[in-house]
Amino acid sequence: MPNLQDVAKKAGVSTATVSKVLSNTPYFTEETRDRVMIAVRELGYMPNLAGRALSSGKTNIVAVVFPYIYDPIFKDPLVMQILEGIEAQCTSEKYNILLSTPRVSAEEIDPHYIQLIQSGYIDGLIAIDNVPINSVAVPAIERNIPTVIIGYTDEQYSVRSDDLGGAKLLMQHILELGHRNIGIITVPQDTNFALNQRMVGIQQVAEEAGMCFTDIPVSYGNYSTSSGVKAAKILLEDHPNLTAIICLNDRMAIGAIQQAYQMGRHVPDDLTVVGYDNISAASMALPPLTTVDQHALKLGQVASKMLFSIFEGAMPDSVVVPANLVTRGSSASLNT
């Protein structure tokens, strides 16, 4: 593999000159540039990134950190969408993505992850930080690595979806359809900031409509479809009069629909079920699921753009990406 020296020798100049030409730093003639470029081409020279990293401190690598906590992250379609958004942006800016999935617990953060952020291998970091147990972003920020957080945080740079607003839209939709006997399927409180906010959104709309929020029956799952099945069973057995169930993610909603059929209740005629996230399976479900699209792809894009602007010395404001309601066949008005 040829190095700068080889190119310099071939072009009859010093390595410093080659470096200048390649980085477009002033003071060289057109002629020198040509000689250098020809040598580069003939040798098939490509800079060694490790050398460059050591010397300049820049690696052109951004770490994308998906803490591996509750729900194995690879099962979460949102993660993919976020990653897709980040990928698009990083690719166009010629950055590489280093995917890190540290094991996180309340007591400890994966030492291998700490090693990574201390290694000098990373120019910046985008972290999903949405769970209260322990922050994966803080150790990076402490080490002065430019960091953008996707999620709820007090740190400076963050991007998040408007969970409050999205949940309000969803609840408004349910109320507009005439439902008043509503159940909720969510995850245990304070395990996920986003879902907390969605609950708050539902509460606000409920109270604006004069309903007593604490009267609304709630059942708990763990994000999975099967947990949605169980939660719906409990809910429908204890409250047979429910006409609508709001599930705070799509997979649990799909489980709820299945359970409803099991119990002889047809969706949406006998029961409205709505979800949240607009995963791809939501549109493939039968009936297709009414849900909220939080534009996870955009979340990833915005986070990447924010990171690149920080690289350039900016101090961007945090961004809240609006969510919007996707009305499909699983919700219907209470009537007849």
* Binding of its own copies by 37 (CB under 8 A): no
3-class state of residue 31 by DSSP = helix
Instruction: Choose among 99, 115, 103: nearest CA to 63.
Output: 99
CB of 6 to its own copies, least distance (A): 14
265: left (phi over 0), alpha (psi -120 to 50) or beta: beta
Joined together, the tokens standing for residue 54 give 């050591």
Residue 238 tokens, joined:
């204890």
Please say which residue, 77 or 165, places its beta carbon nearer to its own copies: 77
β-sheet bridge partners, residue 62? 97, 124
Spatial separation of the C-alpha atoms in residues 329 and 272, rounded to whole Å? 9
**CA–CA separation, 265 vs 257, rounded Å?**
9
Contact call for residue 280 and its own copies (CB under 8 A): yes
What is the footprint of its own copies within residues 164-223 (CB under 8 A)?
Answer: none
Torsion sign (Cα): 92, 149, 160, 222: positive
Q: Is 59 in the site for its own copies (CB under 8 A)?
A: yes
Contact pick of 11, 20, 39, 81 for its own copies (by CB under 8 A): 81
User: Least distance to DNA from the beta carbon of 245, Å?
Assistant: 55
Cα angle 94-96-99, degrees, rounded to a multiple of 5:
155
19 binds, among DNA, its own copies, none (CB under 5 to 8 A by kind): DNA
Q: How many angstroms separate the CA atoms of 13 and 17, rounded?
A: 6
Distance in angstroms (rounded) separating the CA atoms of residues 148 and 303: 6
Interaction partner, residue 28 (DNA, its own copies, none; CB < 5-8 Å by kind): DNA
Among 149, 285, 299, 323, binds its own copies (CB under 8 A): 285
Residue linked to tokens 């996230």: 277
Nearest-angstrom CA–CA distance, 167 and 146? 31
Which positions touch DNA (CB under 7 A)?
A: 1, 3-5, 12-17, 19-20, 22-23, 25-29, 31-32, 45-48, 50-52, 54-56, 120
Nearest to its own copies of 233, 239 (CB atom):
233
CB of 46 to its own copies, least distance (A): 4
Size of the site for its own copies (CB under 8 A): 52
Q: For residue 61, which of 311, 298, 319 has the smallest C-alpha distance? A: 311
Considering the rule CB under 8 A, would residue 48 count as an interface residue with its own copies? yes
Two structure tokens written together for 72: 């194995």
User: Which residue, 281 or 325, is less far from its own copies as judged by CB?
Assistant: 281
5, 23, 91, 105: which one contacts its own copies (CB under 8 A)?
91
Contact set with its own copies (CB under 8 A): 1, 46-51, 53-54, 59, 61, 64, 72, 74-75, 77, 80-81, 83-84, 87, 91, 94, 96-101, 103, 112, 114-116, 118-121, 143, 225, 251, 254-255, 257-258, 261, 280-281, 283-286
